[in-house]
Amino acid sequence: MVTIILEVRPLTKAAFAPFGDVIETEGAEMRLINNGTTERYHDLANVDVTGEGARVLVNIFRGKAFAPPVDISMLERHPLGSQAFMPLQNRPFVVVVAGDQGGRPGQPVAFLCRGNQGVNYGRNVWHHPLISLQQVSDFLVVDRGGEGNNLDEFFFDDVVYRIEKLAV
């Protein structure tokens, strides 16, 4: 088995665009609502669900904490809906994504998300399950419910991708 080290890069809208949306207030359209007492940061992600009986779910996921080294031996994707993660406790986390190469993930890319950034994985985007850092962390998750198989998993059998260090 071959081990390939993944460099973890900062999460930016431009770098993440092939995989989905970065959810953050920076650069977003802001509207004052509720008689000027609330700032609304408008239209931050494209929630995309399809299929029989599809509906949008709002969940809280509680992720255990990881510390380097973190081995990436599998990725998953959701063919029937996007999936958004927004940290609730202002803690950084890591996302690992990959483009599709003939129905399997290509070379993974790792991003370090600040505690005030979230991601919305586009429909059919290969990604690793939640990688919380520092301590157990809660995330608001928006994804798809309804009939149909909305999960594909791919296990690498000839290579392990490893995250060895983080600049948190």
List the domains of the chain with CATH numbers.
2-163 (2.60.120.480)
Q: What is the pLDDT of residue 166?
A: 82
- The rounded distance, in Å, linking the Cα atoms of 90 and 115 is 4
| Averaged pLDDT for residues 121-133 | 97
Helix or strand holding residue 27 (H, E): none
Per-residue pLDDT band at 1 (split at 50, 70, 90): confident
Q: What is the pLDDT of residue 167?
A: 67
**Helix (H/G/I), strand (E/B), else coil: 134:** coil
Q: Are 111 and 94 in contact (CB under 8 A)?
A: yes
| Averaged pLDDT for residues 127-151 | 96
Joined tokens for residue 167 = 């600049």
- Measure the CA dihedral 48/112/73/4, to 10°: 130
Joined tokens for residue 120 = 């919305």
pTM: 0.93
| Averaged pLDDT for residues 5-30 | 96
pLDDT tens per residue, range 23-46: 999 999 999 999 999 999 999 999
User: Other CB atoms closer than 10 Å to residue 98's CB: what's the count?
Assistant: 22
Residue 19 gets which letter from DSSP? T
Q: Are 42 and 31 in contact (CB under 8 A)?
A: yes
Q: Are 108 and 75 in contact (CB under 8 A)?
A: yes
